Amino acid sequence: MFQPLRPWQWLLVAITLAALAVLPLLSSNSYVLHVLILSMIFGIFASAWNLVTGFAGLKTFGHHAFFGIGAYSSALVALHSGLSPWLTIWIAALIATVAGLFIGLPILRIRSMPHVAIVTLGFAEIVRITISNLQSITRGELGLWGIPPFESFTLPVLGEMKFSPADKAGYYYLILVLLVFSTGLITLLMRSKSGLALVAMRDAEDAAESLGVNLTRHKLLVFGVSAFLVGLAGAFFGHYIGILTPSAAVGPDLMILVIAMALVGGLGTLSGPLAGALVLTCVVELLRDLNDLRLLIYGAIIVIVVMFLPKGLATLGPIVRRRFTYLRAPTTSPAKHL
């Protein structure tokens, strides 16, 4: 569904990746790394939500359930079985996938968008309340702590990769790799035949079905992949933060944050949710002192973006450019640029 990248776009991607890769070598400021790590966690989350909502058109509002399931599964498995977090994050992602397929099943039958929204919201509430009620296992709102961090290891060139609160470089590189993995997976999926089918399903469900698109299979596929990625991001989050509470890991606030990110960046685009995650995570950090106003501003951002920038910040560019060219050369026909 995407056009092949032009050479300058490849260059841009390469430069961005290179800049992200050398950043910890230049600055050991752990606060900067922390903000970037959070941005990347939310980047995976927002991209995976966008995969279901923006690309496949299934408007779900319950993806924070998979984040929480991923976070708690990985933490609990690592705590009780002694397995390494390197392994448990994948187990947790698979558990989240199963949950995604489970909730995907009733959604398959429903074509009405409000029903899908309500069912997914309700499912996430069930998960949140269950995690908070099962205090003997999860310690509820008291918080599950003592989650083991990733084990350190030594790389030939870069030296030892440490995973500690003081030295965040290890976490940084790991989440960067996971982000590249998840973006790559989404790109591959959307460029495949299935990607075309998903977009067709979003734009005209009946027409897609009449042309032989297997709606059931594609809806389950997209829900499974998306839940897998969100679960993975959640699992990483648990081991990174080290303490989990139901309100922080499965709260509706989390979903609102991610929806705001995807909307701000631009729904149904590949880079939009990533850009949105970076911008809003930085905004949150800047507003840290105004903690009471944080959610108020989020609400306002969502309203303003939906009302005035329906396609996200990406549309701001063309709007500004059009104004600009209009002033300079009013005779230029917009059709020329198409």
Partner 1 sequence: MTISLFIEQIINGLIIGSMYALVGSGIALIYGTMRVLNLAHGEFYMLGGYLVFLLVVTCGVPAYLAIPIALLAAFLLGALIQRITIHYLLQREGWAFSTIAVTLGLSIFLQNSALLLFGENVQSVPYYVTGIVEFAGIRIPMQRLLILGVAILTIAVMTYVLKATRLGWAIRATSQDRDAAAVVGIPASRIYLITFGIAAALGAIAAAMMAPIYAITPWSGLPILFKGFVVVILGGLGSFPGAIVGGLLLGVVEAVGVQLTSTEWRDVIAFALMIAVIWVRPWGLFGSKS
If one asks whether residue 287 binds partner 1 (CB under 8 A), the answer comes out as no
Shortest Å, Cβ 214 to partner 1: 20
If one asks whether residue 296 binds partner 1 (CB under 8 A), the answer comes out as yes
If one asks whether residue 306 binds partner 1 (CB under 8 A), the answer comes out as yes
**Both tokens of residue 242?**
């080290």
How big is the site for partner 1, counted in residues (CB under 8 A)?
Answer: 38
DSSP 15: H
Q: Which of 77, 96, 258, 263 lies at the binding interface for partner 1 (CB under 8 A)? A: 263
Q: Which is nearer to partner 1, 170 or 251 (CB)?
A: 251
Q: Which of 23, 94, 118, 309 lies at the binding interface for partner 1 (CB under 8 A)? A: 118
3-state helix, strand, coil in the chain (%, to 5): 75, 5, 20
Q: Which of 28, 106, 152, 164 lies at the binding interface for partner 1 (CB under 8 A)? A: 106
If one asks whether residue 319 binds partner 1 (CB under 8 A), the answer comes out as no
Contacts of partner 1 in 206-235 (CB under 8 A): none
Environment class of 311 (CB within 10 Å of its CB; exposed 0-12, middle 13-18, buried 19+): middle
**Both tokens of residue 71?**
């976070």
Partnered with residue 197 across adjacent β-strands are none
Shortest Å, Cβ 239 to partner 1: 28
**Both tokens of residue 177?**
């790799």
Place of tokens 């067709």: 200
Query: What type of residue is 169?
Result: A
Closest CA to 229 of 77, 25, 88, 70: 70
Longest dimension (CA), the chain: 72
Q: Which is nearer to partner 1, 123 or 223 (CB)?
A: 123
Exposure of 292 in the CB half-sphere (CA atoms within 13 A): 0
DSSP 156: T
Shortest Å, Cβ 206 to partner 1: 16
Residues 145 and 78: beta-carbon distance below 8 Å: no
CA angle 11, 16, 20 (to 5 degrees): 145
If one asks whether residue 137 binds partner 1 (CB under 8 A), the answer comes out as no
If one asks whether residue 307 binds partner 1 (CB under 8 A), the answer comes out as yes
| 3-state DSSP assignment of residue 145 | strand
State how far the Cα of 286 lies from the Cα of 126, in Å rounded to an integer.
33
Shortest Å, Cβ 59 to partner 1: 5
If one asks whether residue 79 binds partner 1 (CB under 8 A), the answer comes out as no
Q: Which of 19, 137, 207, 293 lies at the binding interface for partner 1 (CB under 8 A)? A: 293
Q: Which of 117, 243, 283, 313 lies at the binding interface for partner 1 (CB under 8 A)? A: 117
Listed ranges 5-13, 29-37, 83-91, 296-304: which one lies at the site for partner 1 (CB under 8 A): 296-304
Footprint on this chain of partner 1 (rule: CB under 8 A):
59, 61, 106, 109-110, 112-115, 117-119, 121-123, 125-126, 129-130, 133, 252, 256, 259-260, 263, 292-293, 295-296, 298-303, 306-307, 310
